[in-house]
Structure 1
Amino acid sequence: MKTFILPALCLTFLIYLSGCGKTTTISSNMELTGKWELERIVQSNVTIKKPTLAKGQMEVSLIFKDKGELEGTSSRNYLTGFYETAQQNTIQIGGGGTERAETSWGNMFVNALPNVNLYDLKADKLILYYENNNQLIFAREQ
């Protein structure tokens, strides 16, 4: 009986390990790489649309590069960092950037970005989910 239990336990443990903790950078997901422009933010079921740019403001965008590198712009600042995905569309984003006076649109983006934990791709739309199903909704830039 002991000789059967030990191999069964080892096999179960190996199956568990092979299914958990697999982490791959998004560079293997070619659909995500490229430039994405923020169109809308959904917070507490309220949709906030991209405002008209004033002089001196930049589009809020993210550029997902190969090997997990990330670049972006907020309304007035440049961002650099990294991203990494795991199973079931989980994503981790980190980094930093300059800190010049943001617009309210830029502030919402900058404050949400570190809390992003899931992503979804749908027909040239990227949705980044954070805090209780809030969403950053991007369109692929051509």
Structure 2
Amino acid sequence: MTALSEGSGAGVGGRAPLDADRIKHLEFIQATITRLGTNSFLVKGWALTLAAGLLALSASRLSWQLAAVGVVPLLCFWHLDCFFLRQERAFRRLYDAARVPDSTVEVLSMNVAPYLARMPWPEVWLTPTLLLFYTPLLLADLALVVIAL
């Protein structure tokens, strides 16, 4: 049994241990963070599958229209992935704020609005992980549009 889950005594680092409600709250937040990470992974899988399929089809037919159509869903997947990453970061900030014993975060509150307000969309859109995944797909799609013209 860890110091966080014991009912009495000093906690980690001499701080008071967290109560059961606070621990359950942290578990809820962590489950949400995990779910958002899984959703982001699935979105990347769908984006790659769709982009590869449309690129293969448009390359075999040398159709700039098909290649151009592939840009739209790719941008939509990028935006959706950005949404999940932004939410995940907000929940991580909520977790950090809720994990301290003298936290001002309401127990079992999942409100991340104060954290989202300090996280602009362009900052998340231009995250290296998203740029390194979506930019090559987008460039390949645009290159095929130019070649097929």
TM-score, L = length of structure 1: 0.25
Larger Rg: 2
Return the structure number with greater strand share: 1
Return the structure number with greater helix share: 2
The structure with higher relative contact order (CA 8 Å, sep 6+) is 2
